[in-house]
Amino acid sequence: MKIDYISHATIGVTTKDAKILFDPWVDGSAYCGQWNVFPKPLNYEKYHDANFVLISHGHEDHMHHHTLENFPNKSNAHIFYPYQWSGGIKEYLQELGFKKITEGITKKKYQITPATSVTYIANALDSVIIVDDGEKVLVNINDSLHSHHKKVIDMFCDEISKIIKRKINYVFCGFGGASWFPNSIHCEGKDDLEIGQVREQMFAHNFCRIIKNLNPEVAVPFAADFALLKNEQRWINTTRFNREHLGRYFKKYFPDNNASIRTMYSGDNILNGELNEESPYRKEFDKDLTLDSLIDIQYAEEIKEQNQMIYIGEKEADDLCARVLENVNARTFLFPLEKLKQANFSLEFSNSKEKQFLNIEFDGNKFVGNRSSVLSKKSVLKIKSRTKIFDYSISSDWGGDAITIGYGADMYFLDKSILTSGVDNVCTHLITRHPIASKTIKKDVMRAFKYFSTNKLMTKLAIERVRYGADKIQISYNRDYWLNKNKCEVCRVCDLPLLSSEFVNEL
Residues 150 and 277 placed together within one structural domain of the fold: yes
Question: pLDDT band for position 406 (50/70/90)?
Answer: very high
- What kind and span of H or E run contains 158? helix 150-164
Residues 135 and 254 placed together within one structural domain of the fold: yes
User: DSSP assignment, residue 279?
Assistant: -
pLDDT per residue over 70-106, tens digit each?
Answer: 999 999 999 999 999 888 999 999 999 999 999 999 9
Residues 253 and 396 placed together within one structural domain of the fold: no
Give the predicted TM-score (pTM) of the model. 0.95
Mean pLDDT of the chain: 93
Residue 373 has pLDDT above 70, yes or no: yes
Residues 346 and 417 placed together within one structural domain of the fold: yes
State the number of CA atoms in the 13 A half-sphere of 325 facing the CB: 19
Task: Say which residues have a Cβ less than 8 Å from residue 121's Cβ, sequence separation at least 6.
Answer: 106, 107, 127, 128, 129, 130, 156, 159, 160, 163, 457
Residues 94 and 114 placed together within one structural domain of the fold: yes
pLDDT per residue over 213-228, tens digit each?
Answer: 999 999 999 999 999 9
What CATH code is carried by the domain that includes residue 234?
3.60.15.10
Tally Cβ neighbours within 10 Å of residue 261: 24
- What kind and span of H or E run contains 373? none
**Residue 132 main-chain phi, psi, to 5 deg:** -130, 120
Please say which residue of 435, 456, 472 terminates a domain: 435
pLDDT per residue over 142-159, tens digit each?
Answer: 999 999 989 899 999 999
53: containing domain: 2-304
Instruction: Please check whether residue 350 is in contact with residue 310, taking contact to mean a CB–CB distance below 8 angstroms.
Output: no
Q: Does residue 8 belong to any structural domain of this protein? A: yes
Rounded CA-CA distance 251/247 in Å is: 6
Question: pLDDT band for position 204 (50/70/90)?
Answer: very high
State the number of CA atoms in the 13 A half-sphere of 276 facing the CB: 11
Residue-by-residue DSSP string for 294-356: GHHHHTHHHHHHHT---PPPHHHHHHHHHHHHHHHHHTGGGS-HHHHHH--EEEEETT-SS--
What total of structural domains would you count in the chain?
2
Please say which residue of 435, 452, 467 terminates a domain: 435
Q: Does residue 497 belong to any structural domain of this protein? A: no
Rounded CA-CA distance 383/406 in Å is: 14
Residues 328 and 420 placed together within one structural domain of the fold: yes
Q: What is the mean pLDDT of residues 392-399?
A: 94
Residues 196 and 90 placed together within one structural domain of the fold: yes
What CATH code is carried by the domain that includes residue 424?
3.30.1050
Residues 290 and 348 placed together within one structural domain of the fold: no
pLDDT per residue over 465-483, tens digit each?
Answer: 666 555 554 555 677 889 9
pLDDT per residue over 249-282, tens digit each?
Answer: 999 999 988 899 999 999 999 998 999 999 999 9
Residue 467: its pLDDT value, please?
63
Residue 437: its pLDDT value, please?
78
pLDDT per residue over 38-53, tens digit each?
Answer: 999 999 999 999 999 9
Q: Does residue 217 belong to any structural domain of this protein? A: yes
Residues 225 and 274 placed together within one structural domain of the fold: yes
Tally Cβ neighbours within 10 Å of residue 353: 13
Q: Which of 348, 354, 351, 360 is nearest to 314 (CA)?
A: 354
